[in-house]
Amino acid sequence: MTQTLLQLDLDPLGPYFGANVRGIALARATDAELAAVRAALVERKVLFFTGQDLDPDTQVELGRRLGELTASHPVIGGVDDDHPEIYALDSADDGFADVWHTDVTFMPRPPLGSILRAVVLPPSGGDTNWADSQAAYDSLAEPVRRLADQLTAVHDGNREFGYYLTQRRGGKGSVWDGEVVTRLDPVEHPVVRVHPETGRKGIFVNPGFTSHIVGVSEAESRGILDLLYAHLTRPEHIVRHRWHLGDVAMWDNRSTAHYANRDYGAAHRVMHRITLRGDRPSGPATKV
Ligand SMILES: O=C(O)CCC(=O)C(=O)O
Ligand SMILES: [Fe+2]
């Protein structure tokens, strides 16, 4: 039996990237609606929903309906004992994300996607930006794409999160991919990721977690990464979201990077994130 996918009411934010989704209450969505959201997520890469009434319980339930939830974070605990899946980014607890990154690429299997809910917002500021890593890859010159296709990079979570593991959690992190995280061993990923659902290629290095490119000099690594970062974050590749309470953002973490503006002084900002379990990234040259 063929099933036609429900038509979502999408308001695209650009020709390829980002969309506002209208007419869906995420806490009460039907299976058909969520299947359509899941498809739109891969297609548009970042989706925004307004006027939502999610709370911690229904956010977690939504995540379970869309995929398999991970722990809040490999080394940062959940928002409370009842919600070990929710990662709270609280400005009062140094929870900032003002560096371009793709979530958790310092683990062998970074999340497939993330679902973020605004909980406390500053009077203004605190917008979040997303970059389309596939559009960025496609718009590189062909010889540069060919070079990037061959490269592998090391990702290391110690600079951002080593402190949490050693000082705040006594060396015992969350269970991630079936094992308790006790160390953040650097991992290697292809510099160009082939999307497992579409086969499209995207730039898969980020300033938050990528430490260097393998098999080239330090100067070459710096130069190549700087070129890729500058290209990835060109305005043509970005959508920027101004938050209101009730907003939820959902992104495909295999084809995007993001950055939260830290421009709201001492005002308070709290966001709750959940992440869907992902697979091991493969590149153009990965043997399967
Ligand atoms: O605070 C934000 O807007 C984004 C934070 C972030 O990087 C994340 O939730 O993964
Ligand atoms: Fe993030």
Report yes or no on 169 lying in a domain: yes
Is the shortest distance between the CB of 132 and ligand 1 below 6 Å? no
Of all ligands present, the nearest one to the C-alpha of 102 is: 2
Q: How many domains would you assign to the chain?
A: 1
Instruction: Give the closest residue to 190 by CA, choosing from 158, 154, 138, 152.
Output: 152
Looking only at the bridges linking them, the beta strands covering 113-120 and 248-252 are: antiparallel
Amino acid at 149: D
Report yes or no on 282 lying in a domain: no
Q: Predicted confidence band at 6 (pLDDT cuts at 50, 70, 90)? A: confident
- Tell me the mean pLDDT in the region 220-236: 98
- Residue tagged active-site, from 73, 83, 103, 254: 103
d(Cα 21, Cα 50) in Å, to the nearest integer? 8
Is the shortest distance between the CB of 116 and ligand 1 below 6 Å? yes
- Tell me the mean pLDDT in the region 39-50: 98
What whole-number percentage of the chain has pLDDT above 90? 92
Element (H, E) at 39: helix 31-44
- Residue tagged active-site, from 155, 189, 212, 258: 258
**What CATH number is given to the structural domain containing 21?**
3.60.130.10
Is residue 287 pLDDT above 80, yes or no?
no
Mutate to test the pocket of ligand 1, among 116, 209, 270 (most ligand atoms within 8 A of CB): 116
Instruction: Give the closest residue to 64 by CA, choosing from 20, 94, 27.
Output: 27
Neighbours of 236 (CB within 10 A): 13
- Residue tagged active-site, from 101, 193, 254, 269: 101
Q: Predicted confidence band at 32 (pLDDT cuts at 50, 70, 90)? A: very high
Cα-Cα-Cα-Cα torsion 30, 33, 38, 42, nearest 10 degrees, comes to: -170
* Better-scored residue on pLDDT, 172 or 33: 33
Whether residue 57 contacts residue 271, with contact meaning beta carbons closer than 8 Å, is answered with: no
What is the 3-state composition of the chain as percent helix, strand, coil, each rounded to the nearest 5? 25, 25, 50
- What tens digit of pLDDT does each residue of 154-177 get? 999 999 999 889 888 888 899 998
- pLDDT score recorded for residue 127: 98
Report yes or no on 4 lying in a domain: no
Report yes or no on 135 lying in a domain: yes
Report yes or no on 288 lying in a domain: no
Mutate to test the pocket of ligand 1, among 128, 240, 247, 259 (most ligand atoms within 8 A of CB): 128
Report yes or no on 281 lying in a domain: no
**Domain of 188?**
9-276
Average pLDDT, the chain: 96
- pLDDT score recorded for residue 286: 74
Report yes or no on 285 lying in a domain: no
Report yes or no on 284 lying in a domain: no
Between the CA of 14 and the centroid of ligand 1 the distance, in Å, is 22
> 107 phi and psi, to 5 degrees?
-110, 155
- 249: CB partners within 8 A, 6+ apart: 46, 47, 48, 49, 115, 116, 128, 241
157-181 CB burial, b ≥16 within 10 A, e <16:
bbebbeebbeeebeeebbebeeeeb
Between the CA of 260 and the centroid of ligand 2 the distance, in Å, is 8
Give Cα separations from 278 to 30, 112, 154, 164 (angstroms).
23, 4, 18, 23
Identify whether 244 is a catalytic site residue: no
Is the shortest distance between the CB of 258 and ligand 1 below 6 Å? yes
Q: Predicted confidence band at 220 (pLDDT cuts at 50, 70, 90)? A: very high
Between the CA of 285 and the centroid of ligand 1 the distance, in Å, is 31
